[in-house]
Chain A
């Protein structure tokens, strides 16, 4: 049996109100791909942060290659050969790949940056592990998947042989996930150890050698990937059987509640959106599929009033709202779950309860003259925390102290609680665990049953197919295909998303 490269014994870390890691005994073997799974707030990120020196454990011991070790900080961790690839990339957009890789690890020759040698080493690394990466391109020109590759090269360049990744696939499209996994397999084959967190159990089963399940800060167990399946894992995680598909009833759609007509958005000479028209009826879920960066973000931002369209109209229940500010659009009963929760969804330094009322705080029942009725708000916040199973010590904590998935739940709770007529949700289940995904999907289907119009944007085809009545595929700023969900497959959608069918090709020629 291979010897453990990392071993933790009784590792414990507490935050005010929660024990995030409770006596964790983990054993990672050299050269394996080890997945960590568990519910939102189970303590996965905390555990990884301890291993890469961001947090110090309160109790317990870490043995690195058999030697008891104190990992002082991330710099120390990388010296010990442990590198972390964060979910939020830490790259400088305008720098080239090479510059980004050597940033903070500058090898100098007689006081000068030796860029050529660095570039050569980067090429070597890419060559050895079969990474497809041009060291001279600026990072801003790279896709999300490529940027992630830069992050991996960064830790390899610094000599890491243990690579930790926190939800690396959450931001990737299926094709990119495959490429990432190919890369990871090659890394593992050449002796690197990989620890990664994911909520997507199929992926975990696909790539991992062994899987450790955490629940409520404790380790439930470690299993071999071949010896378990999705259901088994989910049950280990949540402690009960999980439904993977949600049923929705046939429903005749009602009046169109959201209508977009001939929407275009130009930035300089480039079209970010080109002549997009669609309509979402009451009692209907409309899914927008597409590789990230093909205009989905812009489309929802224009609908919400965050950007002004160059041409075209937006109608909410037959009322023209084009060019109105966000507050007015929301006033028409529109809820919005933005794709990037840290940028647009949360005020990180404010408390959980304050974030639960963002944008709804002026409601009559919540105010008394110019003052907010705190008691009422705190009470309602506690109810929402219960209902959405947000794992938090108290709603008075800053929202930044919540785990990623629980932060997402805060946004969902806020946006679904406002009694909207139209829901626009980008990546609604990003970062959620299987149990929470089931819950959110049920809520969206309940909204549909109640006659709401729901527009979801997702890179996850499985999700789009499971939820939508109709699906529109975006490519190059255009809506290139619109189909009933029952009449299409993931393969077909995937083709349109990559612009590789005739219809899509035509669209691209148009844009260029």
Chain B
């Protein structure tokens, strides 16, 4: 009975994915590709190679942080669209601390850089939330504006303030990059290769999976505990659920909103660090954009569950890695992949709804049957 319900619940996301693949398949057919072939390639490419697994986890790392940042905001009733700008400022601060502080041991420098990133995110979250609490300016508007300011500001810092003019060029090859100085070795986040080797796993060198991934999972678990076990998390949910009632109960709603939004900003500040400290090693004008917005989808799909964010972030990582494979082996153009990703996100959202509805209906039918049976046996 409840065993069957369990099964349905477990099956729900899988059915949703199936539906998504179906809709995506229609698009693939439309551009003249064999969807089955494409999907087969995608799954084989993703699941049969160790470097793909590592890459999926690497790609999911920033999305875990941005998903968590958005989800924390939603839990307190605030829509943080500003994760995008917050991680840019976070990366900027982390980069500055990363190349400018010489002579520190790694166990001091690296944490400082990470803290600088979080501080940057908090800084960029601070203004919108203060404007909201003091002046009632809606956070959706202000954070969007802060995003644009952040892009421009980071560009300005890269090109005009900290432009690295001492780049060593390979003789006669190319032009200098538009970037800030390289981070010191003590500021780089080590990859997980060494650790995995001790477990007997030989991760190929071209995969940059680093310690931010386990850090993200750890943070998600910590946030889960905070939300559902700590007094602060209880207050956060209360304010998110009904601020007037929380206030009446004596909870300081303003302070809770402020701290929760700053927490969201601090998490956002971590989003760019896996790329910055674990891969590029410098901040340039091509620093990846868009993690903040994808984070909204990640959080929504996870229904703002902290642990769910881990799974949905990995799902997105899966799609992105799969896209690379499909592009390389099936010649599906990159733009189509982007469209496909959007379609899949949408279909998953729709499919989750449909499956939930179906599950509820099934439950109802089962209950009705049960009531009838009890009736027959009872009186």
Given the known inter-chain contacts A59-B372, A306-B247, please indicate yes or no for A371 contacting B230, CB distance below 8 A: yes
A361 contacts chain B at the CB level, 8 A cutoff? yes
Given the known inter-chain contacts A327-B250, A330-B250, A350-B238, please indicate yes or no for A374 contacting B229, CB distance below 8 A: yes
B329 to chain A, nearest CB (A): 47
The complex places the Cα of A349 from the Cα of B74 at a distance, in Å, of: 14
30 contacts between A and B (CB under 8 A): A14-B367, A14-B371, A58-B368, A59-B375, A304-B248, A306-B247, A306-B248, A326-B247, A326-B248, A326-B250, A329-B250, A330-B250, A343-B242, A343-B244, A344-B244, A344-B245, A344-B248, A346-B242, A346-B245, A347-B245, A348-B242, A350-B237, A358-B249, A359-B248, A359-B249, A359-B250, A359-B251, A367-B231, A370-B232, A371-B231
| Interface positions of A from 419 to 440, Cβ below 8 Å from B | none
B14 to chain A, nearest CB (A): 25
Given the known inter-chain contacts A14-B367, A327-B251, please indicate yes or no for A358 contacting B238, CB distance below 8 A: yes
Q: Is the interface of B mostly helix, strand, loop or mixed?
A: helix
B358 to chain A, nearest CB (A): 16
| Interface positions of A from 331 to 380, Cβ below 8 Å from B | 331, 336, 338, 343-350, 354, 358-359, 361-362, 367, 370-372, 374
The complex places the Cα of A35 from the Cα of B246 at a distance, in Å, of: 36
B234 contacts chain A at the CB level, 8 A cutoff? yes
Chain B interface residues (CB < 8 Å from chain A): 226, 229-232, 234-235, 237-238, 241-242, 244-252, 364, 367-368, 371-372, 375
A347 pairs with B248, CB closer than 8 A: no
The complex places the Cα of A344 from the Cα of B234 at a distance, in Å, of: 17
Of B232, B241, B371, B372, the contact of A347 (CB 8 Å cutoff): B241
| Closest chain B residue, CB of each to CB of A372 | B231
Q: Taking A304-B248, A370-B232 as given, write out 17 further A-B residue pairs in contact, using a Cβ cutoff of 8 Å, ordered by the A residue number.
A: A12-B371, A14-B367, A58-B368, A306-B247, A326-B249, A330-B249, A331-B250, A347-B245, A347-B246, A349-B241, A350-B241, A354-B238, A370-B230, A370-B231, A372-B231, A372-B234, A374-B229
A327 pairs with B241, CB closer than 8 A: no
A325 contacts chain B at the CB level, 8 A cutoff? yes
B231 pairs with A362, CB closer than 8 A: yes
| Closest chain A residue, CB of each to CB of B363 | A16
Q: Which residues of B contact A338 (CB under 8 A)?
A: 248
Q: Which residues of A contact B235 (CB under 8 A)?
A: 361
Given the known inter-chain contacts A327-B252, A358-B245, please indicate yes or no for A347 contacting B230, CB distance below 8 A: no
The complex places the Cα of A362 from the Cα of B231 at a distance, in Å, of: 7
The complex places the Cα of A385 from the Cα of B234 at a distance, in Å, of: 21
The complex places the Cα of A362 from the Cα of B246 at a distance, in Å, of: 13
| Closest chain A residue, CB of each to CB of B246 | A347
Q: Which residues of A contact B238 (CB under 8 A)?
A: 347, 350, 354, 358
B245 pairs with A58, CB closer than 8 A: no
Most chain-A Cβ atoms within 10 A of its Cβ — which of B226, B249, B251, B368?
Answer: B249
Of A329, A330, A344, A372, the contact of B230 (CB 8 Å cutoff): A372
B12 to chain A, nearest CB (A): 19
Of B232, B234, B241, B368, the contact of A348 (CB 8 Å cutoff): B241
A325 pairs with B252, CB closer than 8 A: yes
Q: Which residues of A contact B241 (CB under 8 A)?
A: 347-350
The complex places the Cα of A338 from the Cα of B245 at a distance, in Å, of: 9
B377 to chain A, nearest CB (A): 15
Q: Which residues of B contact A349 (CB under 8 A)?
A: 241
Q: Which residues of B contact A12 (CB under 8 A)?
A: 371
The complex places the Cα of A338 from the Cα of B247 at a distance, in Å, of: 12
Q: Which residues of A contact B250 (CB under 8 A)?
A: 325-327, 329-331, 359
Q: Is the interface of A mostly helix, strand, loop or mixed?
A: mixed
B371 pairs with A59, CB closer than 8 A: yes
Most chain-A Cβ atoms within 10 A of its Cβ — which of B231, B237, B244, B247?
Answer: B231
The complex places the Cα of A372 from the Cα of B237 at a distance, in Å, of: 14
| Closest chain A residue, CB of each to CB of B368 | A58
A140 to chain B, nearest CB (A): 19
Given the known inter-chain contacts A350-B237, A372-B230, please indicate yes or no for A59 contacting B368, CB distance below 8 A: yes
The complex places the Cα of A58 from the Cα of B370 at a distance, in Å, of: 10
Q: Which residues of B contact A343 (CB under 8 A)?
A: 242, 244-245
| Interface positions of A from 126 to 184, Cβ below 8 Å from B | none
| Interface positions of A from 369 to 423, Cβ below 8 Å from B | 370-372, 374
| Interface positions of A from 299 to 346, Cβ below 8 Å from B | 304, 306, 325-327, 329-331, 336, 338, 343-346
B252 pairs with A347, CB closer than 8 A: no
The complex places the Cα of A372 from the Cα of B244 at a distance, in Å, of: 23
B357 to chain A, nearest CB (A): 14
Q: Which residues of B contact A58 (CB under 8 A)?
A: 364, 367-368, 371
The complex places the Cα of A343 from the Cα of B242 at a distance, in Å, of: 8
B307 to chain A, nearest CB (A): 18
Q: Which residues of B contact A325 (CB under 8 A)?
A: 250, 252
The complex places the Cα of A322 from the Cα of B231 at a distance, in Å, of: 28
The complex places the Cα of A329 from the Cα of B251 at a distance, in Å, of: 11
The complex places the Cα of A455 from the Cα of B134 at a distance, in Å, of: 33
The complex places the Cα of A359 from the Cα of B253 at a distance, in Å, of: 12
| Closest chain A residue, CB of each to CB of B248 | A344
Of A306, A347, A361, the contact of B231 (CB 8 Å cutoff): A361
Given the known inter-chain contacts A345-B245, A358-B245, please indicate yes or no for A371 contacting B252, CB distance below 8 A: no
The complex places the Cα of A326 from the Cα of B252 at a distance, in Å, of: 8
The complex places the Cα of A343 from the Cα of B229 at a distance, in Å, of: 25
Q: Which residues of A contact B229 (CB under 8 A)?
A: 371-372, 374
Q: Which residues of B contact A374 (CB under 8 A)?
A: 229
The complex places the Cα of A428 from the Cα of B357 at a distance, in Å, of: 39
Given the known inter-chain contacts A12-B371, A59-B368, please indicate yes or no for A345 contacting B248, CB distance below 8 A: yes
Closest 9 CB pairs of A and B: A359-B249, A327-B250, A347-B241, A358-B249, A330-B250, A344-B248, A359-B250, A326-B250, A347-B242
A323 to chain B, nearest CB (A): 15
The complex places the Cα of A325 from the Cα of B250 at a distance, in Å, of: 8
The complex places the Cα of A336 from the Cα of B226 at a distance, in Å, of: 28
| Closest chain A residue, CB of each to CB of B247 | A326
Q: Which residues of B contact A304 (CB under 8 A)?
A: 248
Q: Which residues of B contact A326 (CB under 8 A)?
A: 247-250
The complex places the Cα of A359 from the Cα of B252 at a distance, in Å, of: 10
B366 to chain A, nearest CB (A): 11
B237 to chain A, nearest CB (A): 7
Q: Which residues of A contact B244 (CB under 8 A)?
A: 343-344
Q: Which residues of B contact A348 (CB under 8 A)?
A: 241-242
| Interface positions of A from 56 to 82, Cβ below 8 Å from B | 58-59
Q: Which residues of B contact A19 (CB under 8 A)?
A: 371
| Interface positions of A from 1 to 47, Cβ below 8 Å from B | 12, 14, 19
Of A14, A358, A367, the contact of B246 (CB 8 Å cutoff): A358
B280 to chain A, nearest CB (A): 37
| Closest chain A residue, CB of each to CB of B241 | A347
Q: Which residues of B contact A372 (CB under 8 A)?
A: 229-231, 234
The complex places the Cα of A343 from the Cα of B234 at a distance, in Å, of: 19
The complex places the Cα of A304 from the Cα of B241 at a distance, in Å, of: 21
A373 to chain B, nearest CB (A): 10
B287 to chain A, nearest CB (A): 36
A62 to chain B, nearest CB (A): 16
| Closest chain B residue, CB of each to CB of A374 | B229
| Closest chain B residue, CB of each to CB of A360 | B249
The complex places the Cα of A358 from the Cα of B244 at a distance, in Å, of: 12
Q: Which residues of A contact B249 (CB under 8 A)?
A: 326, 330, 358-359
| Closest chain A residue, CB of each to CB of B235 | A361
The complex places the Cα of A367 from the Cα of B231 at a distance, in Å, of: 8
| Closest chain A residue, CB of each to CB of B238 | A347
The complex places the Cα of A326 from the Cα of B247 at a distance, in Å, of: 7
| Closest chain B residue, CB of each to CB of A19 | B371
The complex places the Cα of A345 from the Cα of B367 at a distance, in Å, of: 33
Of A331, A345, A346, A361, the contact of B234 (CB 8 Å cutoff): A361
B273 to chain A, nearest CB (A): 26
Q: Which residues of A contact B246 (CB under 8 A)?
A: 347, 358
A105 to chain B, nearest CB (A): 28
B314 to chain A, nearest CB (A): 28
B266 to chain A, nearest CB (A): 17
| Closest chain A residue, CB of each to CB of B243 | A347
